[in-house]
C-alpha cells in the first residue's frame, strides 16, 4: 500500500512539473529602461514643503522644476551627505533625475559650494612708522 501511494505521489509531481514547463518557456521577457539624466544650474526656487526645486540653467531659457522625496540623496561636491536645508536660492547644484510622465523626479542633488577667500587673521594695528631724515651740509671756506 505504501509503495502505491509513493508511486502515485511521484507520478502526480512529475505530471505537475511537466505541465508547468511550457509556461516557463512561454514567458515573455519584459525589460524596462530607466534613463537618469543630469542638469546643472542655479537654484531659483526651493520649497521644502512642496518638495520642489527650480533651477535656471544656461542650456534652457525657461526655469526647470524638479520634485524630490525622502529617497532623494543630497550630497556635497565630495559626495558626503548633507541636509536638504542647505539648498537655498542662488546655490549652484547638479540634479540627477528621471522622467515620470511630465514630471522630473530628482534622484540625487549635488550641492556645489562656491569657493570663498580664506579668512585672514586679524592684523593688529601697528603705529605708523615715522622716518626722520636729517641732512647735514658742511661748507668749508677757502683761506
Q: Where are the domains of the chain?
A: 37-111
pLDDT, one tens digit per residue, over 16-55 is: 666 655 555 555 666 666 667 888 999 999 988 889 999 9
At 118 the pLDDT is 45
pLDDT, one tens digit per residue, over 91-127 is: 999 999 998 888 999 999 999 976 444 444 555 555 5
Cα–Cα distance measured from residue 41 to residue 43, given in angstroms and rounded to the nearest whole number: 7
Question: Residue 118 forms beta bridges with which residues?
Answer: none
Q: Which of 78-92, 96-110, 123-137 has the lowest mean pLDDT?
A: 123-137
Residue 90: phi and psi, rounded to 5, are 95, -10
More confident residue, 6 or 69: 69
The 10 Å CB-count burial string (b at 16+, else e) for 49-68 is: eeeebbbeeeeeeeebebbb
CATH architecture of 37-111: Beta Barrel (2.40)
More confident residue, 124 or 90: 90
Amino acid at each position: 500500500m505504501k509503495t502505491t501511494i509513493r508511486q502515485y505521489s511521484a507520478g502526480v509531481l512529475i505530471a505537475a512539473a511537466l505541465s508547468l514547463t511550457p509556461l516557463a518557456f512561454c514567458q515573455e521577457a519584459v525589460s524596462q529602461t530607466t534613463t537618469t539624466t543630469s542638469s546643472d544650474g542655479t537654484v531659483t526656487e526651493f520649497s521644502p514643503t512642496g518638495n520642489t526645486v527650480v533651477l535656471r540653467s544656461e542650456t534652457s531659457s525657461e526655469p526647470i522644476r524638479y520634485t524630490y522625496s525622502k529617497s532623494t540623496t543630497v550630497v556635497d561636491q565630495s559626495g558626503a551627505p548633507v541636509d536638504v536645508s542647505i539648498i537655498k536660492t542662488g546655490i549652484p547644484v547638479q540634479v540627477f533625475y528621471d522622467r515620470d510622465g511630465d514630471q522630473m523626479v530628482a534622484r540625487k542633488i549635488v550641492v556645489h559650494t562656491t569657493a570663498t577667500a580664506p579668512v585672514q587673521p586679524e592684523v593688529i594695528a601697528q603705529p605708523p612708522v615715522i622716518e626722520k631724515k636729517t641732512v647735514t651740509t658742511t661748507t668749508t671756506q677757502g683761506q
